[in-house]
Amino acid sequence: MIPEEMRSALARKAASAESPREQAIDVMFELQDHYGYMTDEAMEEAAGILGMTTLELEELATFYDHIYRSPVGRYVIHVCDSAVCWMEGYQRIIDYLCQRLKLTVGGTSPDGLFTLLPVCCIGYCDRAPAMMINRNVYGRLTREKIDRILDRLIEHSQFHEME
Amino acid sequence: MYPQVLFRNRKPDRIVTLDEYRAGGGYRALGDVLRKRSAGEVCRVVDEAGLRGRGGAGFPASKKWESVPADGAYPRYLVANSDEMEPGTFKDRVLIHADPHTIIEGMILAGYAIGASKAFLFVRPSYESSAAIMERELRIAREAGYLGRNILGTDYSLDIVVHRSGGRYICGEASALLNAVMGKRPNPQRPPPYPTVKGLWERPTVVNNVETLANVPHILRNGPEWFRGLSRSKTPGTKLFCISGKVSRPGCVELPMGTRLNEIIEEHAGGMAPGSEFKACLPGGASTYFLTRDNLHAGMDFDGMAAVKNRLGTGAVIVFDRKTCLVGATLNLMRFFARESCGWCTPCREGLPYMRDLLERIEEGEGREEYIPMLRLMSRQVWNSYCALAPGAASPVESLLDHFADEVHEHISQKRCPFKD
């Protein structure tokens, strides 16, 4: 169950659109942030708010890159595999991430913090190779830079756990 | 240095503010138009300027606007397309991060020209920073009276909202984009009816690329003659060119339409990256044809590219060097297109993975000579698909076979990729 306040805010958002289903992605993004991914319960909540059947919503949820119907880590790493990033060392970046985080492409690290997904093209071709973590973009990646980024995220998540 | 229009206010490290945009003459065209000119006049000026769409197809902007029937239903809608997922292309991101108000003013003027009361700016998830910037600047524009009810005290009202996408390449296709906005599965839809007749919620809707719209205020302020004079070719205006790959200074630059490819690479991108030698480039993004050294003199505009049997596309130049395997590069592109097929029609859904698999075998050293005519046949077959995604996907494959057949044969005869150690 989502908090009542959140439900009414989402309902207001849906009502303000030309038609409620226009807000399908925004509503799913918010519920996804709340649940961690689009759980079956989240799908039903969203469908109820949008006046859609869960099947209609499923058609969208399973189509889009940034809606997750299975559990993902707290941080979703999208590594750009466009032709430009491919040329500039995408494979080295993927190999290093897999080795350091002990996961495979499409998988989640054993600590549950990181999920690694390929994506194309994130539009940072002038800063290739590039990746995106929870919609923040990082370009001109090197091993050292990746280490710095991951260390900061791990530190951040530990800090939150202590709270 | 060429005249800068869309990048005239561009700062190296930050976004242009509303005050800076106004100080450079921003929003003057809007006041002038709303008080003194009719919607028809706006279309006429843009028509005389010869503004063509910057999203890839190059359709005249005024013709699209005029195809909204005079007696068409209300409300009408405008959609600014910044769903930029064509590999190699990042001009919309740079433009939004440079000068968002030139897009906002362009959207309001285009909205006025077609009688729209609501406009959407379609943004992909990878561009969350662009979405946040636009939401903030739209609020600022609204507070300043440029947006919302009775703009600048006139009878015209328009609201603009940012529409976030869930992220798929097909959403950049205009008819698929409209389905996406309505919360439907973003399959393309073949006309008729055209969106300008029946688009969003069956009302007249115009979809324009954000770069196209950003040109509109400047045309209305400075006139069609001025706009035509910016170009070095028959296609008027300037163009945002993205340059990436093996060059010294990858980036996005604004240059006159018709600027020669070799000038773009040698002068504006600082030449080839150290230690790299030019082999080929894709001149207009991933769905154009590989272009060789022989055609580097070609002018980058619609006619110049057509003259060398290529397409301007989005104007995104991806440069490949001698050490880069073009079979591998084409396989990378085909993996992308096969993954991004929406699956709606058979030639695309079945054809692209088939071509990907053939290329994969060739790259892995398991290729056979008979795969080459098979790839040719499939490249022709995918033209029977419902939208332009699959024909675009076939373009690099066809030109690989046309210009770099030796490289393909070498993979097959050596039973390995000659570029791998």
- pLDDT tens-digit series, residues B357-379: 999 999 999 999 999 999 999 99
Q: What pLDDT does residue A163 have? A: 54
Nearest by CB: A25 against B87, B166, B342: B166
Q: What pLDDT does residue A162 have? A: 62
Share of chain B above pLDDT 90, in %: 99
- pLDDT tens-digit series, residues B308-361: 999 999 999 999 999 999 999 999 999 999 999 999 999 999 999 999 999 999
Q: Which residues of A touch B187 (CB under 8 A)?
A: none
Averaged pLDDT, B40-68: 96
- pLDDT tens-digit series, residues B109-120: 999 999 999 999
- Residues B247 and B271: their CA atoms lie apart, in Å, by 6
Residues B129, A19: C-beta atoms closer than 8 Å: no
| Alpha-carbon gap: A126 to the closest alpha carbon of chain B (Å) | 5
pLDDT at residue B412 greater than cutoff 80: yes
- Write the DSSP assignment of B217-267 as a string of letters: HHHHHH-HHHHHHT-SSSS-SEEEEEEEESBSS-EEEEEETT-BHHHIIII
> Residue B369, class by beta-carbon neighbours within 10 Å (0-12 exposed, 13-18 middle, 19+ buried)?
exposed
Nearest by CB: A83 against B184, B332, B342: B332
Q: Residue B364 has which token pair?
A: 């892995």
Chain A positions touching chain B (beta carbons under 8 Å) = 18-26, 28-29, 50, 52, 59-60, 63-67, 78, 81-84, 86-88, 119-128, 132, 135, 137
Q: Which residues of A touch B332 (CB under 8 A)?
A: 81-83, 86
Q: What is the ipTM of this complex?
A: 0.95
Residues A63, B166: C-beta atoms closer than 8 Å: yes
Residues B245, A87: C-beta atoms closer than 8 Å: yes
**B170 neighbors B176 (Cβ within 8 angstroms):** yes
Q: What pLDDT does residue B282 have? A: 98
The full set of domain ranges for chain A reads: 4-63, 75-161
User: What Å distances lie between residue A157 and A74, A101, A102, A108, B89, CA to CA?
Assistant: 9, 15, 18, 16, 34
- Residues B219 and B229: their CA atoms lie apart, in Å, by 11
Residues B126, A21: C-beta atoms closer than 8 Å: no
Residues B166, A60: C-beta atoms closer than 8 Å: yes
Q: What pLDDT does residue A112 have? A: 95
Per-residue confidence band for B421, with pLDDT thresholds at 50, 70 and 90: confident
Q: What pLDDT does residue B286 have? A: 96
| Residue whose structure tokens are 């495979």 | A104
Which of B223, B206, B220, B224 is closest to B31 using CA atoms? B220
**B206 neighbors B28 (Cβ within 8 angstroms):** no
Domains in chain B, CATH or no CATH each = 18-229 (3.40.50.11540), 238-321 (3.10.20.600), 326-414 (1.20.1440.230)
pLDDT at residue B63 greater than cutoff 90: yes
| Residue whose structure tokens are 């990378």 | B332
Nearest residue of A to residue B322, measured between CA atoms: A87
Judge whether A98 is annotated as a binding position. no
pLDDT at residue B166 greater than cutoff 80: yes
- pLDDT tens-digit series, residues B30-51: 999 999 999 999 999 999 999 9
**B60 neighbors B158 (Cβ within 8 angstroms):** no
Q: What pLDDT does residue B7 have? A: 97
- pLDDT tens-digit series, residues B294-305: 999 999 999 999
Q: What pLDDT does residue A161 have? A: 66
> How high does pLDDT run on average in chain A?
95
Averaged pLDDT, B371-398: 97
User: Has domain A75-161 been given CATH number 3.40.50.20?
Assistant: no
**B301 neighbors B258 (Cβ within 8 angstroms):** yes
Sequence-ordered alpha helix ranges (H) in B144-181: 174-181
Q: How many CB pairs under 8 A join A and B?
A: 130
Q: Which residues of A touch B88 (CB under 8 A)?
A: 82-84, 121, 125
> How high does pLDDT run on average in chain B?
97
Q: Residue A76 has which token pair?
A: 């979703």
Residues A87, B320: C-beta atoms closer than 8 Å: yes
Share of chain B above pLDDT 70, in %: 100
**pTM of the model as a whole:** 0.96
Residues B200, A18: C-beta atoms closer than 8 Å: yes
- Residues of chain A falling short of pLDDT 70: 161-163
Per-residue confidence band for B217, with pLDDT thresholds at 50, 70 and 90: very high
Mutate to test the interface with B, among A62, A66, A84, A127 (most CBs of B within 10 A): A84
Q: What pLDDT does residue A120 have? A: 87
Residues B126, A135: C-beta atoms closer than 8 Å: yes
Strand order in the sheet with A75-80: A114-119, A75-80, A131-133, A136-138
